[in-house]
Amino acid sequence: MMINLSKKIVVAGAFIIGFIFSQPAMAQTKPKTWTLQECIDQAIKSNLTIQQTQLQADLSRVTLRQAQLNRLPTINGSTAYNLNSGRSIDPTTNSFVSETIKSNNLQVYASVPLFSGGQLINTIKRNNFDNQAAVADVARSRNDIMLNVVTFYIQIIFNNEILKANELLRSSTLAQLDRTQKLFNAGSVPETNVLELKAQLASDDVNIITAKNNIDIAKLNLSQLLNLPNAIFELEVPAIPDPDQDVIIVDANQIFETAQLNLPEVKAADLRVSSALAGIDISRSAYYPQLSFNAGYNTLYSSGRPLFEPTGSLVEQTLGFASNDGLPGEELKIFVPGSRTMKYPYFDQIKDNQSKNIGLSLNVPIFNGFLARNNVSRSKINHQNAVLNTELVRDQLQKSIQQSVADALAAQKKFIAVKNQLAALEQSYKNAEIRFANGVMNATDFNVARNNFTKAQSDLIQAKYDYTFKLKVLDYYQNKPLSF
């Protein structure tokens, strides 16, 4: 019995241990591999700055819609309920009464603008230009995010290349240290060679750690831009060719002409100039009369107004006394139709007390403290400022393009120069490696040759990706897709 129980415990324990050790493998999933286009799409979808700019565009669209609807009639209704006690005026008869009166007034009135000096039409034009400019601002925000994604994407790939180069150098150093240690043990080389190679190995470890940290920082920047701060992902490494040995032929002026026709920031600036022009016309509309058509409906009810209903019989009524030579005469009497006082129902009063009106309203500006004139002056200044802003945008764009072209040419020239330098330093390093292995060269001179070769490798990688990014910037200005 004890043996069976022990077996069960052993089996249960093995199962639990196996389950525990299998959890990390089960929980560990392969990180997603992102392409450049996927990163751009994610950033555009989730970036808060773009969302905020989109809200501004939505707001401008609503403002435009309201300006269009302002041409429609305005219809409003109102009602009032009053309770008066004591001596007051009956609103239905305008007579004084001494009783508690409950009254209700109902009104409906409408107004249609007929002529506003062009204010409504020009307001629609201005808001339409503002809406188009807001849409262009959204496109600009997206372009900015796209360039930032490309920047961080290339940084990650660049740092990965640096990491691989440093790991290869560490492997080379480790192999060289192993050979030197054997030569030292055999008494062929001094201990200094071994110590310097150990120091170099430690330096290689530092370079690897630095490269890994740079990768982590670049990934963090990219994940924050994608609004995925805790995401674990890898990037698809595109096949990026080395820069062409032939000097690139680009015309900065031609790129500028293309850019100012396509870039949303230029379009937005031009649209705001048109908006400012419409603003001048809106201000000038205050010089003209305003004509509108008005119509109204009114009715009321009062609890103090009685209803007299005929009874169908005649009632005798005394008018006074006839005079005869200044002396009282015969009493004068007449017969009038009889009636009885009844409560006047609410809806009957509403129906019987109706009144309607229509009319035209003309508002002619005569003197308003030069308000209209000063508003026109402000609008003209706003237009001049908008024109200057377009010039500033174009001037900054032209300078940026010229700088980008110069940077691309410089990066290409640097790559060619560093590539030639690397070829020479690589041969020098191989020769130094052979001489050091044979004990002809000391460790200090060998490390100098090695470090020069390492720096040239790093410079070549940096020049390659710097050149690639500069070309992407030029593609952006030429309205080309940002892809590898």
Comparison of pLDDT for 344 and 329, the residue scoring more: 344
Decide which of 379 and 409 is more confident: 379
Tens-digit pLDDT profile for residues 334-382: 666 666 667 888 888 888 889 999 999 999 999 888 988 999 999 999 9
pLDDT of residue 21: 41
Domains and CATH numbers, the chain: 142-277+372-484 (1.20.1600.10), 307-342 (no CATH)
Written as one letter, the residue type at 130 is D
Write the pLDDT tens digit of every residue in 61-86. Answer: 999 999 999 999 999 999 988 887 77
Half-sphere exposure of 439 (CA within 13 A, CB side): 11
Joined tokens for residue 82? 């009053």
The whole-angstrom separation of Cα 477 and Cα 158 is 23
User: Between β-strands 32-34 and 233-235, what pairing exists: parallel, antiparallel or unpaired?
Assistant: parallel
Report, as an integer, the average pLDDT of 29-54: 84
Residue 277's pLDDT is what? 95
Write down the number of H helices and E strands in the chain. 10, 10
> Are the beta carbons of 188 and 132 closer than 8 angstroms?
no
Kindly state the tokens that stand for 152: 């961080």
Closest CA to 36 of 359, 472, 452: 472
Mean pLDDT within 215-240: 81
Q: What is the pLDDT of residues 132-164, one digit of tens each?
A: 999 999 999 998 898 889 888 888 888 888 888
State phi, psi for 29 to the nearest 5 degrees: -115, 155
Confidence band of 124 (pLDDT split at 50, 70, 90): very high
Mean pLDDT of the chain: 82
DSSP 8-state class, residue 285: G
